[in-house]
Copies of this chain bind each other. A is one copy, B any other.
Amino acid sequence: MRKRSNKRSSTPLRVIPIGGLNEIGKNITVLEYKDDILIIDCGMSFPEDEMYGIDIVIPDFSYLVKNKAKIKGIILTHGHEDHIGAIPYFLKQINAPIYGTRLTLGLVENKLKEHGIRAKMNTVAHGDKVQLGVFTAEAIRSTHSVADSICWCIETPAGRVFHTGDFKVDYTPIGGAPMDFARLAELGSKGVQLMLCDSTNATRPGYSMSEQTVGITLENIFRNSETRIIIATFSSNVHRVQRIIDNAVKVGRKVAISGRSMVNVVNISMELGYLKVPANVLVDINKTKNIPDKELVIITTGSQGEPMSALSRMASADHKAITIKKGDKVILSSSPVPGNEKTVSNVVNKLFEKGADVIYSDIADIHVSGHACEEELKLMHSLIRPKFFMPVHGEYRHLKRHAQIAESLGKDPSDIFILENGNVLNLTSNSAEITNEEVPAQAIYVDGLGVGDVGNIVLRDRKLLSESGLIIVVAAINRSSGTICSGPDIISRGFVYVRENENLIDQARKLVTKTLERCCEENIKDWNALKGAVRDDLRGFIYKKTKRSPVILPIFLEV
């Protein structure tokens, strides 16, 4: 039996995922040792269907605000929104230096500019080590669907903690070297105490395909097209954009860029040298009219069918510069993110209706995932061979499956830790355990300028309003004399067409008048009692007549 504690590690390292567990998105992990805190990534997520009116969701920073003084820095794995998107909101509350690769920081910079914020940014390259308090963090080259992705290996007083970030194993990445397998194996041999590993594709067997395979499909399409080509993909997938531009150049086509985020990322990537575009290839999206169709490629945002994106606007004949015409070849180089299937097929249908020839994931191999599938995860586990393992980045089913994969490789189930956001894992040089402590780790809703001012009660109201609308009853009452001076009036929104239901509204008004008169007779003068009586009577009446339950809002004025 190993001893469960010893002198050297009597103070445990605290590993706290504040976001990214039991969800896809808002990834952020905290390492805390005595007076030092290191943060890995700081992402946002997109709202679920029932989060009415919410723009984005960010992590709960309250634990970090409380321990502000301890924070030594944020280290970033790569430049996707679910890893960097919450940084502006973080920096509005907490000042901390940021560490990442050039492209990652370029994307952060762009984001901060939009928010009018400055930060201390520190560029790291693969192999660099950064000293942050007691922590020494080493950047290790990785591969993912955005260029310049890294894993982090952090030396802590409790041993090495290895965080994969998002990754896939691509032996032939476009425009770059593959993962630094040698260094991963070396770290594995030296001994890694805890690994946190991406679980997004844990339920997919086999391997993800190399980005090169997409390039081959695209090349075939480009070679065989005599018409205009419009191609949508994730703006952050610089490799994909590079491959599209390469193919365009090969077949002698010009390239125009559409969509704000695509324009931004292309500019940043060109400036930083991640995207190589020969002179005279790029043309302004507003100046494509005179270019023959077979000499033009348009790269656009909107591969997820986002309603305001450039591609959606083209599909709805609402794009300023581009009008879809018969024969246009439109390629959606992406797979729908779960939840977006409907919006994507809406856009596909509209494009087909306009006469375009649409190529999308149902039809051809025009996208590969950026996340490791089962066999790639096994490779990572086999290289790092961590003592303890914590699956991260995924819904519960992904984390659970990832744990099963680790077990299939011989890992003892008691050395695997599936946490929830806000849980604390205590790690020492010879033990790991989930504590009873819970750190605040709610989803914080951003709606317009408001951060966190829309919570569950407001959302519940929005849901109720969206389901059956509302009925407002308004009257001016003199309570001392017990007389209704004006009203009751009935106003509704989102309930029924009033014009076609005058009779129903009229009956409702009579009912409320009776209720108010009865209350006055009975000398009921308390506003709440009065409102309650009106609400109850009206709710029963409306439900009986329509089987609906609109929000009922009695408003009385004292006159």
Q: Which residues of chain A have a CB within 8 Å of any CB of chain B?
A: 22, 48-49, 52-53, 203-204, 338-339, 341-342, 345, 348-350, 352-353, 358, 362-363, 395-397, 400, 447-450, 453-455, 457-459, 461-470, 472, 474-476, 485-487, 489, 491, 493-497, 500-501, 545-548, 551, 553, 555, 557-559
Could you show 18 A-B contacts with beta carbons less than 8 Å apart? A203-B363, A204-B362, A349-B397, A352-B397, A448-B548, A458-B469, A459-B494, A461-B494, A462-B466, A462-B467, A462-B494, A465-B469, A465-B470, A474-B557, A486-B559, A487-B557, A491-B555, A559-B559
Give the distance to chain B from A401, nearest Cβ to Cβ, in Å: 8
Q: A485: which B residues are within 8 A, CB to CB? A: 476, 557, 559
A341–B449 Cα distance when bound, in Å, is: 31
Known: A349-B397, A476-B476. Is A493-B470 also a contact (CB below 8 A)?
A: yes
Choose among B462, B487, B545 the residue that contacts A469 (Cβ–Cβ < 8 A).
B462
A350–B397 Cα distance when bound, in Å, is: 9
Q: A495: which B residues are within 8 A, CB to CB? A: 458
Q: A203: which B residues are within 8 A, CB to CB? A: 362-363
Q: A487: which B residues are within 8 A, CB to CB? A: 557
Asked if A497 contacts B358 (CB within 8 A), the reply is no
Known: A341-B339, A493-B461, A546-B450. Is A466-B352 also a contact (CB below 8 A)?
A: no
A2–B547 Cα distance when bound, in Å, is: 58
Residue of B nearest to A362 (CB): B203
Give the distance to chain B from A192, nearest Cβ to Cβ, in Å: 27
A338–B348 Cα distance when bound, in Å, is: 14
A62–B265 Cα distance when bound, in Å, is: 52
Asked if B553 contacts A555 (CB within 8 A), the reply is no
Asked if B553 contacts A449 (CB within 8 A), the reply is no
Asked if B555 contacts A458 (CB within 8 A), the reply is no
Residue of B nearest to A345 (CB): B395
Q: A466: which B residues are within 8 A, CB to CB? A: 52-53, 462-463, 465-466
Question: Chain A interface secondary structure, helix, strand, loop or mixed?
Answer: mixed
Give the distance to chain B from A348, nearest Cβ to Cβ, in Å: 5
Asked if A553 contacts B491 (CB within 8 A), the reply is yes
Give the distance to chain B from A239, nearest Cβ to Cβ, in Å: 26
Asked if B558 contacts A486 (CB within 8 A), the reply is yes
Q: A395: which B residues are within 8 A, CB to CB? A: 345, 349
Give the distance to chain B from A60, nearest Cβ to Cβ, in Å: 16
Q: A555: which B residues are within 8 A, CB to CB? A: 472, 474, 489, 491, 555
Choose among B348, B363, B396, B465 the residue that contacts A462 (Cβ–Cβ < 8 A).
B465
Q: A458: which B residues are within 8 A, CB to CB? A: 469, 494-497
Q: A469: which B residues are within 8 A, CB to CB? A: 53, 458, 461-462, 465
Known: A462-B466, A465-B494. Is A342-B453 also a contact (CB below 8 A)?
A: no
Q: A53: which B residues are within 8 A, CB to CB? A: 466-469, 494, 548
Asked if B468 contacts A465 (CB within 8 A), the reply is no
Give the distance to chain B from A92, nearest Cβ to Cβ, in Å: 15
Question: Closest 8 CB pairs between A and B?
Answer: A448-B547, A466-B466, A461-B494, A465-B465, A462-B494, A53-B467, A486-B557, A448-B548
Q: A553: which B residues are within 8 A, CB to CB? A: 472, 491, 493
Residue among A345, A348, A358 facing the most chain B CB atoms (10 A cut-off): A345
Asked if A49 contacts B49 (CB within 8 A), the reply is yes
Given A465-B493, A487-B557, 5 more pairs with CB closer than 8 A: A53-B469, A338-B342, A464-B494, A476-B485, A491-B553
Residue of B nearest to A53 (CB): B467
Asked if B353 contacts A396 (CB within 8 A), the reply is yes
Q: A558: which B residues are within 8 A, CB to CB? A: 486
A464–B449 Cα distance when bound, in Å, is: 18
Q: A453: which B residues are within 8 A, CB to CB? A: 496-497, 500-501
